[in-house]
Amino acid sequence: MTTLDLRSTTKSQLRAVPQALRAHQWVKNLLIFVPVLLDHRIFDPLVLSKAMVAFVAFCFAASGTYVLNDLLDSDADRRHRTKRNRPFAAEILSRSFGFSMVPLLFTGALLCSLWLSPRFLILLVTYVVLTSAYSIYLKRIAILDVLLLAGLYTLRVLAGVAASHVRFSTWLLAFSMFLFLSLAFLKRYAELSELKGGATEGLERRGYLRSDREWLGSMGGASGYLAVLVLALYINSEQVMALYGTPLLLWLICPLLLYWISRMWLLAHRGRIDQDPIVATVRDPVSYLIGALVALVLFAAA
**What mean pLDDT do residues 68-93 have?**
78
39 in Cβ contact with 166 (< 8 Å): yes
**What mean pLDDT do residues 258-266 have?**
96
Nearest-angstrom CA–CA distance, 172 and 269: 28
**What mean pLDDT do residues 245-264 have?**
94
Q: What is the pLDDT of residue 206?
A: 75
Q: What is the pLDDT of residue 232?
A: 93
Q: What is the pLDDT of residue 222?
A: 96
Nearest-angstrom CA–CA distance, 47 and 65: 27
Helix (H) or strand (E) holding 134: helix 118-136
User: Rounded to 5 degrees, what are φ and ψ at 180?
Assistant: -75, -25
Q: What is the pLDDT of residue 156?
A: 94
Q: What is the pLDDT of residue 87?
A: 82
pLDDT per position as a tens digit, 182-220: 999 999 998 888 776 655 566 666 788 888 889 999 999
11, pLDDT greater than 80: no
Q: Out of 4-8, 77-81, 114-118, 120-124, pick the least confident.
A: 4-8
Give the N- to C-terminal CA distance of the chain in Å, as an integer. Answer: 64
Q: Coil, strand, or helix at residue 48?
A: helix
User: Rounded to 5 degrees, what are φ and ψ at 202?
Assistant: -125, 165
262 in Cβ contact with 183 (< 8 Å): no
Angle at CA of residue 193, ends 267 and 91, nearest 5°: 110
Q: What is the pLDDT of residue 163?
A: 94
**What mean pLDDT do residues 65-72 have?**
88
34 in Cβ contact with 102 (< 8 Å): no
Between these two residues, 223 and 8, which has the higher pLDDT value?
Answer: 223
Helix (H) or strand (E) holding 137: none
Q: Out of 23-32, 85-94, 171-180, 193-202, pick the least confident.
A: 193-202
8, pLDDT greater than 80: no
> Per-domain residue ranges for the chain?
23-168, 169-302
Q: What is the pLDDT of residue 4?
A: 45
7, pLDDT greater than 90: no
**Confidence band for 77, pLDDT divided at 50, 70 and 90:** confident
Mean pLDDT of the chain: 87
Kindly tell me the sign of the dihedral angle through the C-alpha atoms of 33, 34, 36, 42: positive
pLDDT per position as a tens digit, 119-177: 999 999 999 999 989 888 888 898 999 999 999 999 999 999 999 999 888 888 899 99
Assign domain 23-168 to its CATH architecture: Orthogonal Bundle (1.10)
Cα distances from 200 to residues 17, 65, 81, 194, 215, in angstroms, run 37, 30, 19, 14, 14
Q: What is the pLDDT of residue 211?
A: 85
pLDDT per position as a tens digit, 33-48: 999 988 888 889 999 9
**Cβ within 8 Å of residue 24, ≥6 positions away:** 279, 282
6, pLDDT greater than 70: no
Nearest-angstrom CA–CA distance, 87 and 182: 30
Between these two residues, 84 and 296, which has the higher pLDDT value?
Answer: 296
